[in-house]
Amino acid sequence: MSIYSDKVMDHFTNPRNVGEIENPDGVGEEGNPVCGDMMTFYIRVEDNRLKDIKFKTFGCGAAIAVSSMVSEMGMGKTLEEAMKITPQSVADELEGLPKNKFHCSNLGAQALQKAIEDYRSKKQNGGVREVVAPSKKQEEIKHICCPFCESDLGEEESPFCQACHREVPYCSKCHEPLSKDATVCPHCGTVI
């Protein structure tokens, strides 16, 4: 019996909107250095609506399925509607994700939001790209993976993984989780 729903398996084996848009209106990238998933979304905007969405994802089957679903959920929506796509709504559309893969839905929703923020920033600055800090809402939504067993640690910054019972290393400066053999924090650059 599969741990993934039929919908997750369908979006993994038949992903929609894969690829890259040439000269996109906005690009958003999001990744989790601990588990290695990386998503990049490309958008084309017309009349304040997402006319086209493409993505490239490096990661597990859940990450690919999430990217595919997020692209379908955002297609044709206004920018304001697309910004309201949440990790939970993505997981719900996929008929659930295993607990240790829920972080993938965070990455997908955040990557699309970053692409929209990139578009808005370019439009506001006459086409000049500007780095946009994550919104407060994005900063509040974070699920952390154990670097040893990839179990979801939830939103708690617990020093131990409940699944494998190993101590999870955290950066002393930014308090983000680190990979088991990190020498430099991938989040803030602090030497460990």
**Each residue's pLDDT tens digit, 54-77:** 999 998 888 899 999 999 999 999
Domain assignment present for 92: yes
Is pTM beyond 0.85? Reply is no
Does residue 156 share a domain with residue 80?
no
Produce one character per residue of 150-173: b if its CB has 16 or more CB atoms within 10 Å, e if not. bbbbeeeeeeebeeeeeebbbbee
Q: What is the CATH number of the domain that holds 24?
A: 3.90.1010.10
- Report pLDDT for 129: 47
Q: Which runs of consecutive H residues, i.e. helices, occur in 53-143?
A: 61-74, 79-83, 87-93, 103-124, 136-140
Tell whether the model's pLDDT for residue 100 goes beyond 90: no
Residue 110 has pLDDT above 70, yes or no: yes
Per-residue pLDDT, 99: 81
Whether 142 contacts 153, CB under 8 Å: no
Within this chain, do residues 35 and 122 fall inside the same structural domain, yes or no?
yes
Main-chain dihedrals φ then ψ at residue 96, nearest 5 degrees: 100, 150
Are 33 and 86 in the same domain?
Answer: yes
Q: Which two tokens stand for residue 86?
A: 């949440």
Q: Could you give the residue numbers annotated as active site?
A: 35, 104
DSSP of 138-170: HHH----B-TTT--B-TT---SB-TTT-PBPPB
34 plus 117 within the same structural domain: yes
pLDDT over 80 (residue 115): yes
Domain count, the chain: 2
Question: Is residue 100 assigned to a domain?
Answer: yes
- In which domain, by residue range, is 102 found? 6-126+133-140
Final residue in a domain of this structure, among 101, 116, 140: 140
The amino acid that residue 97 corresponds to is L
Say how far apart CA 27 and CA 151 lie, in whole Å.
29
Q: Is residue 1 part of a domain?
A: no
CA 129 to mean position of chain CA atoms: 21
Looking at the structure, tell me whether residues 94 and 169 fall in a common domain: no
Question: In this structure, what DSSP letter does residue 134 have?
Answer: P
